Structure 1
C-alpha cells in the first residue's frame, strides 16, 4: 500500500498545491457571495412598501392591501401600503421610479399610467416605460355605462339613438380617466354626441349622476353596483369584452352590436428599473400564488375585479397593446394636461 509523502513538498508537488490553494480561495469567495442569499440577509430582510398612486379606499387600494397582507405572511416581513395620489397617478409613480431599485419599493397602479398618461400629459418628469418595469398584472376591471332613471333609457341601443339625436353630457372621474376614454371610444365607434363633464375622482362623478345633474357616465363598477341594485342607476353595458362579475346580467358593449369594443383596464405591479431579476421573478411568483388562492379570488370578485395575474412579459405586452389603442384615441381627441 502506498504511503502518503511526508515532510516538505517536492518541486513536483508545489505547483499542484498552489493551484489547489488558489481554487480553495476562489471557492471561499464564491461561498461568501452566495451566503447572503440564504442567510439572515436574504431578501426581504426588512419591510417592503407598495406605493399606490391613487387615494385610499378605491378598488386599486383595496387590491394592493389584500396583496400586501398575503405577501407579508409569505415573505415573513411587513409589506406596507403607502398612498401617494395626484396627477392621474404620476405623483406616486414618480416616487416609485426614483426609489432605490433594491426590491423594497414597488408600485401598484392602473395600467393607464403607461397606456394613457404619456400621451395625455404635456410634460412628465419621468418616463414610466423607461423608469419602471412591470412585474405582472394584478387583476382587470370594467367601467359600466349608467344613466339616471329620469331619462327613461333602459338599453344601450335606445341610449345611442337618443345620443345621436341630441348632445347628452356624460360624467367621468376626470380627463383621460378610464371612464372618459371609454366613452370617447364609444363616440368614435357609433358617431354619437356627448359633452364630457370631468370630475376629480369617481365619487363626485357618481354623486352628480345619482342627483340627475349629469344624465350618464362610464363609472367604476364597484362604486356603482349598489345604486344599480337599488334602482337609482340604470346599467346599459360594461366596457370590456367579458361581462362583469358584479353585473353578470348586464351585457358588454360588444354584445349589443358595437363589434370589437373593448375598454377593459388592469391593475399592474411595477418596480423601479434596475431591480434585480431574481427579485422581480420572486414577486411574479408571489402574485401568481396569491391570485391562485380561492379565498383571495372571492375577495377580488366582490370588488368587481377579475382575478387575473400574469408575469412581467405578459404585462409588458398588455401595456404595449393598450398604449397603441389609447394613444391613437388621445391624439385624435387632442387631450393635453399639465
Structure 2
C-alpha cells in the first residue's frame, strides 16, 4: 500500500513539475491588464488611456481595465502604480505632471519618477488652452490682463494638473497680475466650476475644453504652446496674444513599475506604437488637439530625465513655492 501511495505522490509531483514551466511560459498577456490613470474620466490622459486600452484589448484578447485615481496632482495614482507588482499587468498611463513637474512642486514625494518606474512608450504631446467663461465679458488675452490688473486679487484660476497649474502661474508671473489659484482633483472638475462661475479662468487640456468652446459656453483666448492648434487655428498662442515668450507644452506617456521584464516592456512598446499610427487613432488624437508621439522606451526615459530639470527651472522662474 505504501508503495502505491508513493507511486501516486511521485506521479502527482511529476505532473505539477511539468505543468509549472508551461504556466510560467504563457505568452504575455495571459490575464487582464489594469491601467492606472492619475486624472478623472474625461481628462486628456483618461481619453487616450481608454483609446489605447481598447485597441490593446482588441489586439491581445485580454480585458484592459481603467482605474482612475485622481487627486493630489497625480501623487495618489503614481504611488499606487509604483507599488504595484512588476509583472506587466499594471500600467501607469500618465503625463509630465507626475513624471516631470511634481518633483519640483512637492519635495517630499512618496515615489521617484525615475527609479520607481520603467518607461514604456510616449503617446502624445498636449498643450493647454486658456479659457474663460463667456459671462466674464473678455474676448482676448489683453482684455483679460487689463481686467485682472483693474481688480487685483479678485479673479481666480482653476488647475487640475501640474501643467494646468504651472501654465496659470506662468501667466500670472509673466503678466504681473494678481490672480488666486484654486486647485482641483482633475481638469474636468475645474472646468465644471469655471462654467458655474466659481472661478474665472483656467488653462486646461484641449480634450476637456473643446466641447464647451464649441458649444459657446467657454471662450478660448489662447493656447499655451509655441504653435497654434490645428483644431482651433483661429485661436492665437498666448505669446501671439500679448505675452511674448510664453510657451509650455506637456506630454502623455506609459510607464510600468520598476523591475517589469524588458521583454514585456518591449512588447507593450511595439503594440502601442502600432496603435498610435492607426489612421482612426491618429485622426481622433488630432481632432482633440493632441499630437501623436511614438518612440522607444529609451527615448521616453531620456525625455523624463531632460524634463525634470526643465520643469524645475520653469517652476522657479514662475515663482511657485513647493507645497
- Measure, in 2, the Cα distance between the counterparts of 1:253 and 1:319: 25
**Residue 160 (structure 1) aligned with residue 145 (structure 2):** yes
1:221 and 1:246 in contact (8 A); partners too: no
**Residue 286 (structure 1) aligned with residue 298 (structure 2):** no
**Residue 197 (structure 1) aligned with residue 182 (structure 2):** yes
CA 1:315 to 1:254, structure 2 compared with 1: closer, same or farther past 3 Å? Answer: farther
**For 1:132-186, what per-residue CA distance to the aligned partner results, in whole angstroms no more than 9, with x for missing partners?**
1211212222211122334432222333344344425232234x63222101112
What residue ranges of structure 2 are gaps of 5+ in the alignment? 1-17
2:129 and 2:203 in contact (8 A); partners too: yes
Instruction: Report what 1:139 is aligned to.
Output: 124
Instruction: Report what 1:217 is aligned to.
Output: 202
CA 1:259 to 1:67, structure 2 compared with 1: closer, same or farther past 3 Å? Answer: same
CA 1:119 to 1:307, structure 2 compared with 1: closer, same or farther past 3 Å? Answer: same
**For 1:247-269, what per-residue CA distance to the aligned partner results, in whole angstroms no more than 9, with x for missing partners?**
22211123335444222111110
Provide the secondary structure at the position in 2 that maps to 1:144.
Answer: strand
Of the three residues 173, 188, 193, the one matched with 2:159 is 173
**For 1:289-313, what per-residue CA distance to the aligned partner results, in whole angstroms no more than 9, with x for missing partners?**
0000001112223433222222222
Provide the secondary structure at the position in 1 that maps to 2:91.
Answer: strand
- Measure, in 2, the Cα distance between the counterparts of 1:71 and 1:313: 21
Alpha-carbon offset, residue 56 of structure 1: 2.9
CA 1:259 to 1:101, structure 2 compared with 1: closer, same or farther past 3 Å? Answer: same
2:164 and 2:202 in contact (8 A); partners too: yes
Provide the secondary structure at the position in 1 that maps to 2:115.
Answer: helix
CA 1:230 to 1:104, structure 2 compared with 1: closer, same or farther past 3 Å? Answer: closer
**For 1:74-97, what per-residue CA distance to the aligned partner results, in whole angstroms no more than 9, with x for missing partners?**
234333322233322222222221
- RMSD, aligned CA: 2.7
- Measure, in 2, the Cα distance between the counterparts of 1:181 and 1:284: 30
TM-score by length of 1: 0.79
- Measure, in 1, the Cα distance between the counterparts of 2:45 and 2:238: 24
- Measure, in 1, the Cα distance between the counterparts of 2:245 and 2:284: 29
Of the three residues 104, 114, 131, the one matched with 2:89 is 104
Provide the secondary structure at the position in 2 that maps to 1:254.
Answer: coil
1:169 and 1:197 in contact (8 A); partners too: no
Instruction: Report what 1:64 is aligned to.
Output: 49
User: How many equivalent pairs are there?
Assistant: 301
Instruction: Report what 2:3 is aligned to.
Output: none
CA 1:152 to 1:187, structure 2 compared with 1: closer, same or farther past 3 Å? Answer: same
**Computing the radius of gyration over CA atoms, which structure comes out larger, 1 or 2?**
1
- Measure, in 1, the Cα distance between the counterparts of 2:303 and 2:142: 30
Provide the secondary structure at the position in 1 that maps to 2:246.
Answer: coil
Instruction: Report what 2:70 is aligned to.
Output: 85
Between 1:53-62 and 1:274-283, the stretch displaced more is: 53-62
Alpha-carbon offset, residue 240 of structure 1: 1.4
2:120 and 2:254 in contact (8 A); partners too: yes
2:123 and 2:251 in contact (8 A); partners too: yes
- Measure, in 1, the Cα distance between the counterparts of 2:82 and 2:42: 23
1:148 and 1:216 in contact (8 A); partners too: yes
- Measure, in 2, the Cα distance between the counterparts of 1:201 and 1:118: 18
Instruction: Report what 1:75 is aligned to.
Output: 60
1:36 and 1:42 in contact (8 A); partners too: no
Instruction: Report what 1:182 is aligned to.
Output: 167
- Measure, in 1, the Cα distance between the counterparts of 2:128 and 2:310: 17
Provide the secondary structure at the position in 2 that maps to 1:157.
Answer: helix
CA 1:58 to 1:146, structure 2 compared with 1: closer, same or farther past 3 Å? Answer: closer
Provide the secondary structure at the position in 1 that maps to 2:36.
Answer: strand
1:72 and 1:79 in contact (8 A); partners too: yes
Provide the secondary structure at the position in 2 that maps to 1:51.
Answer: strand
